[in-house]
Amino acid sequence: SSSVMNISEHLSCPLGFGHYNAVDVCILETVVIVLLTFLIIAGNLTVIFVFHCAPLLHHYTTSYFIQTMAYADLFVGVSCLVPTLSLLHYPTGVHESLTCQVFGYIISVLKSVSMACLACISVDRYLAITKPLSYNQLVTPCRLRICISLIWIYSCLIFLPSFFGWGKPGYHGDIFEWCATSWLTNAYFTGFIVCLLYAPAAFVICFTYFHIFKICRQHTKEINDRRARFPSHEVDAAGDAGHGPDRRYAMVLFRITSVFYVLWLPYIIYFLLESSRVLDNPALSFLTTWLAISNSFCNCVIYSLSNSVFRLGLRRLSETICSSC
- For every residue of 224-236, DSSP letters joined together read HHHHHHS-SHHHH
Q: Which among 282, 276, 292, 96 has a CA at the least distance from the CA of 180? A: 282
Alpha carbons 23 and 27: distance in angstroms, whole number: 6
What mean pLDDT is predicted for residues 258-286?
83
**289 within some domain:** yes
* Structural domain containing residue 25: 19-227+245-324
Alpha carbons 246 and 263: distance in angstroms, whole number: 26
Positive/negative CA dihedral, 208, 77, 72, 11 = positive
Give me the pLDDT at residue 87, please.
Answer: 65
Alpha carbons 68 and 62: distance in angstroms, whole number: 10
Alpha carbons 318 and 103: distance in angstroms, whole number: 34
Give me the pLDDT at residue 23, please.
Answer: 62
Give me the pLDDT at residue 245, please.
Answer: 58
Alpha carbons 96 and 179: distance in angstroms, whole number: 8
For residue 14, the one-letter residue type is: P
The more confident residue out of 3 and 77 is 77
**238 within some domain:** no
DSSP 3-state of 204: helix
**13 within some domain:** no
Alpha carbons 108 and 76: distance in angstroms, whole number: 9
What mean pLDDT is predicted for residues 67-85?
84
Q: Are 156 and 108 in contact (CB under 8 A)?
A: no
Q: Which among 251, 124, 112 has a CA at the least distance from the CA of 194? A: 112
**33 within some domain:** yes
H or E element that contains 272: helix 244-275
What mean pLDDT is predicted for residues 217-231?
72
Give me the pLDDT at residue 9, please.
Answer: 46
According to DSSP, residue 19 is labeled S
Instruction: State the angle between helix axes of 81-88 and 22-53 in degrees (0 to 180), rounded to the nearest 10.
Output: 140
CB atoms within 10 A of CB 191: 15
DSSP 3-state of 64: helix
**9 within some domain:** no
What mean pLDDT is predicted for residues 275-282?
79
According to DSSP, residue 16 is labeled -
DSSP 3-state of 186: coil
Q: Which residues pair with 176 in a beta bridge?
A: 11
Number of domains in the chain: 1
The answer to whether residue 115 scores a pLDDT higher than 50 is yes
The answer to whether residue 92 scores a pLDDT higher than 60 is no
Q: Are 202 and 261 in contact (CB under 8 A)?
A: yes
**157 within some domain:** yes
**117 within some domain:** yes
How many angstroms separate the Cα of 110 from the Cα of each of 15, 72, 167, 262, 280?
Answer: 25, 5, 18, 18, 25
The answer to whether residue 2 scores a pLDDT higher than 70 is no
Give me the pLDDT at residue 13, please.
Answer: 53
Alpha carbons 30 and 266: distance in angstroms, whole number: 22
Burial class, 20, CB count within 10 angstroms (exposed 0-12 / middle 13-18 / buried 19+):
exposed
Percent with pLDDT over 70 in the chain: 75
| CATH code at position 186 | 1.20.1070.10
Alpha carbons 133 and 141: distance in angstroms, whole number: 17
Alpha carbons 256 and 113: distance in angstroms, whole number: 15
**255 within some domain:** yes
Asked whether the whole model's pTM tops 0.85, one would answer: no
Give me the pLDDT at residue 94, please.
Answer: 54
